[in-house]
Structure 1
Amino acid sequence: MDWSKCCASSWSSSLAACCTSDQRDAADDAVSPSLKGLPQMQKPTAEPMPLPEEDELQEPAATSWFGAASEPVPEPLPSPPEMQISGSTSSIGVRYTAHVDSSKSQQIGVDFEVLDHQNCLVSMVKKEGQAAEWNASRSPKERIRRYDCLRLVNGEGKGSTSKELIAMVSESQASAELTLERPTVIQLRVKRNGSKLGLAVAASKSHLGLLVRGVDANGSILKLNEAQDVDYIAPGDRIVAINGEQLSSQQLAKQLAADEYELTIFRYLPE
């Protein structure tokens, strides 16, 4: 099975999202409570019933146009509690610059992913190449890592798509200055209470988690975002771990069907 083309709703209708498309049919999994049958309507008596004396007035028995109730009409079931989300930002993404020199090696030694047109992510840093040489001579804060986002090449490329930035790297001559961004890390505690998330997600073939392509207007995530004026989950986010485990894309999608979990999300700051 090609997981990159599968629909998230096949794992659970709670996702209500297709992995590879922004267009989908919204699934409505709300269940209406079934009511018991009401008593049959009765004909009125031939003679009017006498009124009781004032000192004999008592609380009248429950009656309706259907006659005396033989059994109580069931009350509507209470609405399930809404989804709850709490969390915090554990680190803020920062930008840094790496220099590569094509005169030393013909290969940069970095693979990029273009699943997200706006965020060009590093999917692999190879053991050999210009990037590996750069990393070997730098502190951890300056080393090129997986999930880092390529923003500029030689100071240019603002607003460019992922493919355009990669083309600029390939066409650069001699030394190239790469401006990259570390992701902002968000930790969320989610309790769905049976609610639909309303996320459209895409599975990464480069094992970079799940890309959030869109947030459904009828889902609980967007309603919470708007009600509390907080972007808990937004388009462009990457769901990279659940309950602290970095799982494959298909495993992450399956775990989203659970009712309660902790999410680790990577977010890239807008230009």
Structure 2
Amino acid sequence: SPELPANFSTASRADTTERHEMPQEGTFLVNLQKLDGDDIGLEFDTMDSKVLLVSQVRRSGLATRWNATASEESQIRQFDRLLEVNGCGLLPSADLVDMLQECDVNIQLRFEHPDVREFSITPDGRKLGLGLEMSKMTPSLRVRKLDPAGAVHLRCSEDNAPHMKPHDRIVQVNEESDNVARMAKQMVSREVSFKIYRYTLETESSVIQAI
């Protein structure tokens, strides 16, 4: 399950977080000290094996206490990607969650905020050609693949620009957000506007990558 286990229960000590630092552009480190009974306070969306996303920062726990003192750019938010646990990364999402569950005392986490993009298209009767998966943990649609004959792929090729790629998360369609089913229904509109969250994938080298 994406939710961390119950033995990470809530504590209220103010000294369980340490000062943050920015290790490199685009990511940030979170240093936590977990004592007996402490709750990390994070839940995760594990539907994408390559991109592990924060689905919720619970109101109590080490993550919330970190956010209370961290700078805005180093606060953990919904849709942030967890990249590393204690220096270990490039692991499947489920393995990262398991590693976090097993951590005790000193925990260092590396996160990435999403790159927010917007893209509009008028399909002109052509199908968008998007292979999508609805998330049960976050209000988003994961892009699995793009049909080479679809309107979105053709637009990317014409513009020579990666307007949409596999592993992107669609978080808004036209004016609809927060409700995945209504977002999906908006995709049959004459003009479709997307708000997309994108993450850095170490193995990507092309505009459109097949899954």
Residue 79 (structure 2) pairs with residue 147 (structure 1): yes
Shift of 1:228: 2.8
TM-score under structure 2 normalisation?
Answer: 0.80
CA distance in 1 between partners of 2:157 and 2:122 (Å)? 18
More strand as a share of residues: 2
Cα contact 2:129–2:148 (8 A) shared by 1? yes
- Tell me how far 1:104 sits from its aligned partner: 6.2
For residues 244 and 258 of structure 1, the distance between their equivalents in structure 2, rounded to whole angstroms, comes to: 12
Look up the equivalent residue of 1:209 and give its one-letter code: S
Q: Are residue 252 (structure 1) and residue 176 (structure 2) matched? A: no
Match of 1:113 in 2: 45
Aligned residues: 178
- Give SS of 2:100's match: helix
In 2, distance between residues paired with 1:246 and 1:103? 38
Q: Deviations over 1:111-150 (max 9, x none)?
A: 0111111000000000111101111111221110000000
State whether residues 244 and 264 of structure 1, in contact with CA within 8 Å, keep that contact through their aligned partners in structure 2. no
CA distance 1:261–1:219, shift in 2 (3 Å): closer
2-structure distance, mates of 1:255, 1:192: 13
Alpha-carbon distance between aligned partners in 2 of 1:253 and 1:207, rounded to the nearest angstrom: 14
Question: Gaps spanning 5+ residues in structure 1: where?
Answer: 1-92
Match of 2:104 in 1: 173
Q: Which moved more, 1:225-234 or 1:133-142?
A: 225-234
Name 1:185's counterpart in structure 2.
Answer: 116
Question: Partner of 2:142: helix, strand, or coil?
Answer: strand
Q: CA RMSD in A?
A: 1.5
Matches within 5 A, 1:53-92: none
Displacement of 1:218 after TM fit? 2.1
Question: Once the two structures are aligned, what percentage of the paired residues are identical?
Answer: 32
* Map of 1:213 onto structure 2: 144
Runs of at least 5 residues in structure 2 that lack an aligned partner in the other structure: 1-24, 203-211
Distance of 1:137 and 1:228 partners within structure 2: 43
In the alignment, the residues of structure 2 paired with residue 181 and residue 104 of structure 1 have an alpha-carbon distance, to the nearest angstrom, of 28
Do the aligned residues in 1 keep the contact of 2:120 with 2:194 (CA within 8 Å)? yes
Detail structure 1 runs of 4+ shifted over 3 Å in the superposition: none
Is 1:238 aligned with 2:169?
Answer: yes
- CA distance in structure 2 between the aligned counterparts of 1:173 and 1:153, rounded to whole angstroms: 12
Amino acid at match of 1:235: P
Residue 96 of structure 1 pairs with residue 19 of structure 2: no
Alpha-carbon distance in 1 for matches of 2:70, 2:32: 13
Counterpart-to-counterpart distance in 1, 2:36 and 2:175: 40
* 3-state secondary structure, aligned to 2:79: coil
8 Å contact 2:128–2:152 — kept in the other structure?
yes
Specify the alignment match of 2:194 in structure 1: 263
Aligned equivalents of 2:162, 2:137: Cα separation in 1: 26
Q: Tell me the TM-score normalized by structure 1.
A: 0.63
Residue aligned with 2:136, SS: coil
Give distance in 1, aligned partners of 2:134 and 2:92: 19
Report the CA distance between 1:219 and its aligned residue. 1.2
Deviation by residue 1:44-71 (Cα, 9 ceiling, x = unmatched): xxxxxxxxxxxxxxxxxxxxxxxxxxxx
- Counterpart check, 1:122 vs 2:51: no
Higher relative contact order (CA 8 A, sep 6+): 1
Question: Structure 1 residues 144, 104: CA separation in 2 closer, same or farther (over 3 Å shift)?
Answer: farther
